Structure 1
């Protein structure tokens, strides 16, 4: 197994093929809930995601996506909890790797930039796993849930 010595699960992709996302969450009465939004293109349930802004760090860019797409503000972590690969073009022919940063929601706005383009829905992790379009997103939500017991 010496050939695995230098193996790294993180894929090094060119910056234009890497995006960031936020995993908005809250703990209410000891139960973890995560915030899902619909994609503008397909209407499937996802987490907020987008490009890394040149003037912001990766985690700050993820927090900005959460504000613009889901209308939430909170405390973003500096390190991603996981990543997944998804199609970036309409036909899914171009792939991007998306690093997901947990965001502890402190404020949920009634008015936000993309409120007329998306739905949002709070869900416990088991429901989120059923609703999320990509099973990899469900696994990332489970990874967050493990932190809370």
Structure 2
């Protein structure tokens, strides 16, 4: 008979882990951080994705920066830190995901990349980038990395992420609109 610690953990209870790159260029007052828009909610995020079997976590984070933003650079071997967010699944459900963040000093930008046209890219000052992201822990990582401070009055509450119902409704609306357009041809 096994004890309580032998009980298998349900998949939904596990926290998933992703890797991310924090792209930066310049130094001092000229330091800039690149944010990308997420594909579903269009909010500002950093390039991130699932770990890759054939790559180390830092290399996987650098690969995500290339795929999502067309960036080349020098990736740190150790993470700056981590943050959590709610990942919206295709089913509309949400799952908590922890993200290890690696600094990426950008040395080049490609004219084309796999997700070009699917996301908006924006170089920002560290303060703009920190205020642009939704997750408080990511905001703190950006502030800590850049060595800047945000006055309390400039730390607005993050915009609420869409609920699973809202995500499912928007997905359904897009599908119906696409089908309606095909039917009218």
C-alpha deviation, 1:89, in angstroms? 2.5
Tell me, yes or no, if the aligned pair for 1:86 and 1:92 is still in contact at 8 Å.
Answer: no
Q: Aligned pair 1:57/2:61, yes or no?
A: no
The Cα offsets for residues 30-63 of structure 1, whole Å up to 9 and x where unpaired, read as 5210000000010000000000000100000000
Shift of 1:129: 1.6
* TM-score normalised by L of structure 1: 0.83
Residue 88 of structure 1: how far off its partner (Å): 1.9
- Going from structure 1 to structure 2, the CA distance change for 1:146 and 1:116 (only over 3 Å counts) comes to same
Gaps of 5+ in 2: 1-12, 149-185
CA–CA distance in structure 1, aligned partners of residues 42 and 93 of structure 2? 15
More helix as a share of residues: 2
Per-residue deviation, 1:28 = 5.4
Q: Do the aligned partners of 1:63 and 1:73 also contact (CA within 8 Å) in 2?
A: yes
Q: How far apart in 2 are the matches of 1:69 and 1:119? A: 10
Quote how far apart the aligned CAs of 1:132 are: 1.2
Structure 2 residue aligned with 1:102: 103
What is the alpha-carbon distance in structure 1 between the residues aligned to residue 36 and residue 96 of structure 2?
21
**Residue 143 of structure 1, CA deviation:** 1.5
Change (3 A) 1:78 1:98: same
Gaps of 5+ in 1: 1-12
CA contact (8 A) 2:84 2:135 kept: no
Partner of 1:130 in structure 2? 131
Query: Deviation per CA, 1:50-103, whole angstroms, max 9, x where unpaired?
Result: 000001000000000000001100000010001111112344621110000000
